[in-house]
Amino acid sequence: MEYRTEHDSMGEMKVPLDAYWGAQTERSHENFIIGTEKMPEEVIRAFSILKKAAALTNHSLGRLSDKKCELISKVCDEIYEGKLQEHFPLVVWQTGSGTQSNMNVNEVIANRGNELAGEKLLHPNDDVNMSQSSNDTFPTAMHIAAVTELRERLLPAIKELAATLERLEEENQGVIKCGRTHLQDATPIAFSQEISGWRYMLINNMEQIELSLGSLSKLALGGTAVGTGLNCPPGFAEGVAERISELTGHGFVSDENKFHALTSKDALCFSHGALKALAANLMKIANDVRWLASGPRLGLSEISIPANEPGSSIMPGKVNPTQCEAVTMVAVQVMGNDASIGFAASQGNFELNVFMPVIIYDYLQSVRLLSDCIRSFNKNCVSGIKADRDKMKANLHNSLMLVTCLNPYIGYENAAKVAKKAYAEGVSLRDACLGLGLMSAEEFDQAFRPEEMV
């Protein structure tokens, strides 16, 4: 491999000849050979938005020339479009402030811009990082990435699944089945009602996620090193927030207290709590689906789900609820991420939190996994759910808990006697009730109407 020599404030470094990064990125690349987890592409794209907005704002304030602003903006567009992704090699496990990734972006923009200009015009610190510090740019990039992924990726996926469930509700109106609590038979429920419970979980999750967007829309940019705004001109923080809003199409504002913005990660912690709640609901829905589809002969088998692939390497014809299993594994990962984000967010010592790369890595992983698994679950499982109405009816009429409708007529204790006699003797509730002399046949038939118990 051929190399060129780059320098920073610590001296010279050899950098691969075809790499746009510089000395500071190379130091991190060599000093942190830890794991395989790279800084997420979503963060790099967020930085491209941030740096372009900063350049435009500095230009409007008379601090950056037309040519430099144009070059920075052009390279930022290339980064946003993913054309330069191979020039961002740094791992998550680096400095906790994300300084090295900020400088990675600065160096790539400067070197690529200078290549376009045909002269050494841009400096990574003096021009690309003008009016900024890693301490305010990295948390700003975190918030831009989080808001963008929530609005453009996760919320649309949830809405699609909710729409499928709404369709299933309509298709299954009037289908009555046995309800279950504690994995035991309970009183009847309409299948559409059961599905509506799943759908409203998602509606509630969307509301919780939307609520978290308020805090995530507040940006740290303008606080520079410790929140005081040193070397940041008046109007920069507000101007850059407006431009970020224009570039993303999502509303952002300058955080009113930069000391809070730099040291606290409560917005991401709170927002990920909503993601954990979504994961918990998805775990419940997926488990319900696979229980209801269990069998096909010796389980509940009240619904059928699409058969997507063979389920066993040894048992011919076996089909498993694989989409449900994928959802539940994602849910477990998200819950683990929530724990690490909570621990990391608690470590805001003095003026800066230095666990930011792991926070945003875990956060974005959760958003990505949830979005992808919801779309897969919707497409490959939920959209193909079919109710076995005959099985539901048979199970319903075989349930001992239908005896609950007799409580107003014979009382709780007598109804319990009926259920126990029916179970012990393997007879119907009707035969048990008549056998105990608690009701006449006519009275029983008038009171016992399972389809009206919902």
Please state, in angstroms and rounded to a whole number, the distance separating the CA atoms of residues 384 and 305: 6
- The phi-psi region of residue 131 (left if phi > 0; otherwise alpha if psi is between -120 and 50; otherwise beta) is left
Query: In 3-state terms, what secondary structure has residue 91?
Result: strand
β 184-190/176-181 pair status: antiparallel
Please state, in angstroms and rounded to a whole number, the distance separating the CA atoms of residues 301 and 152: 37
Structure tokens at 423: 């179970």
* Cβ atoms 389, 304 nearer than 8 A: no
Please state, in angstroms and rounded to a whole number, the distance separating the CA atoms of residues 274 and 226: 29
Q: Is 312 a catalytic residue?
A: yes
Query: In 3-state terms, what secondary structure has residue 103?
Result: helix
From the candidates 7, 9, 123, 182, give the one annotated as an active-site residue.
182
Please state, in angstroms and rounded to a whole number, the distance separating the CA atoms of residues 448 and 285: 31
Q: Could you say which DSSP state residue 227 is in?
A: S
User: If we measure between CA atoms, which residue out of 337, 331, 333 comes closest to residue 281?
Assistant: 331
Strand partners, 190: 176
From the candidates 7, 65, 312, 440, give the one annotated as an active-site residue.
312
User: If we measure between CA atoms, which residue out of 176, 182, 174, 171 comes closest to residue 405?
Assistant: 176
Alpha helices in 183-321 (DSSP H): 191-216, 236-248, 258-263, 266-292
Strand partners, 178: 188
Phi, psi of 16 (to 5 degrees): -50, 135
Please state, in angstroms and rounded to a whole number, the distance separating the CA atoms of residues 211 and 28: 37
Specify the length of the chain in residues: 454
Q: CB under 8 Å, gap of 24 or more: what pairs does 397-403 form?
A: 397/450, 399/178, 399/185, 399/188, 400/185, 400/429, 401/178, 401/179, 401/185, 401/186, 401/187, 402/187, 402/188, 402/429, 402/448, 402/450, 402/453, 403/429
DSSP element (H, E) containing 135: helix 134-149
Annotated catalytic residues are: 182, 312
